[in-house]
Amino acid sequence: TRKRQRYVEKDGKCNVQHGNVRETYRYLTDIFTTLVDLKWRFSLLVFILAYAVTWLFFGLIWWFIAYCRGDLDHLEDHAWTPCVNNLNGFVSAFLFSIETETTIGYGHRVITDKCPEGIVLLLLQAILGSMVNAFMVGCMFVKISQPNKRAETLVFSSHAVVSLRDDRLCLMFRVGDLRDSHIVEASIRAKLIKSKQTQEGEFIPLDQTDLSVGFETGDDRLFLVSPLIISHEIDERSPFWDVSRHQLEKDDFEIVVILEGMVEAT
């Protein structure tokens, strides 16, 4: 038996690759979501670069101000009032930039009141640093709180079965939650993924059809404190109504079950 290519893997990963995307600039219009969707190694790289670049950029400006004012030529002149005390080169300017943006304040290098351009730069770096902190910490928090790992403790049965239930033919499977923290407002739905051809002769690949799992009766709203059996009744409205047992074994289709809800703890 050959292994069928799945539309959605068992772990929820979609096997859909986007090709020939020309308007890639659209990803930059929503840069926050783009950064959240990046892999961890790229997210950490962006996180490090965001701070390193801003520190280097403002460190270069602090050094440039000291160079233009002549502070670097009066390092031993105690009568000279520099823009930043004890700033004697680019390395110390870089350290002062880090201290300013991270509000460490070691007390050795400090800005004086005789440097209006430095005061303006200090305000700009404080504001921009707060924006960088809020943006990057927000990205990291959203990425850490993504439900990928939480879904590892949501377990589906290995097989779905077709059997009689209350004298009605039903497609059934089981779902359970292993954690003590409950899934609030849990709901479940199912999609049948199957190619079809319309009466007009149009071929629709990977057509999606809803499978009723209790939407009309409210049974799709789950109180998931113990394993539950989800049932789809095969009636006249079901896409499996005209499918025989032998045809069911030969047909190429996939059923995707989607469980949604909010984690009680977070």
- Report the C-alpha gap between 75 and 165 in whole angstroms: 90
> What pLDDT is recorded for position 181?
83
The dihedral sign for the CA sequence 142, 144, 148, 153: negative
Q: Residue 175: which pLDDT band, with cuts at 50, 70 and 90?
A: very high
For the ranges 59-63, 99-103, 221-225, the one whose mean pLDDT is highest: 59-63
- Report the C-alpha gap between 241 and 264 in whole angstroms: 39
Domain assignments of the chain as residue spans, ordered by start: 25-145, 154-263
Nearest Cα neighbor of 236 from 180, 173, 168 is 168
Candidate CATH numbers 3.40.50.300, 3.20.20.70, 3.40.50.850, 2.60.40.1400; the one for domain 154-263: 2.60.40.1400
For the residues 253-262, what does the mean pLDDT come to?
A: 90
Q: Does residue 72 surpass a pLDDT of 80? A: yes
Indicate the class that CATH gives domain 25-145: mainly alpha
Q: Does residue 23 surpass a pLDDT of 60? A: yes
Nearest Cα neighbor of 69 from 84, 59, 56, 54 is 84
- Report the C-alpha gap between 191 and 113 in whole angstroms: 68
For the ranges 64-68, 195-199, 248-252, the one whose mean pLDDT is highest: 64-68
CB 72 within 8 A of CB 66: yes
The DSSP secondary structure of 117-146, one letter per residue, reads HHHHHHHHHHHHHHHHHHHHHHHHHHHHT-
pLDDT digits (tens, 9 = 90+) for 39-61: 889 989 999 999 999 999 999 99
> What pLDDT is recorded for position 164?
93
For the chain, the average pLDDT equals 88
Nearest Cα neighbor of 215 from 202, 230, 193 is 230
Helix boundaries (H) for the chain: 25-29, 31-37, 40-69, 90-101, 116-144, 245-250
Q: Does residue 2 surpass a pLDDT of 70? A: no
Backbone φ and ψ of 194, nearest 5°: -160, 140
Radius of gyration of the chain (CA): 30
Alpha-carbon 5 to chain mean position? 26
Q: pLDDT higher for 97 or 114?
A: 97
> What pLDDT is recorded for position 3?
65
pLDDT digits (tens, 9 = 90+) for 107-159: 888 898 888 999 999 999 999 999 999 999 998 888 887 777 778 888 899 88
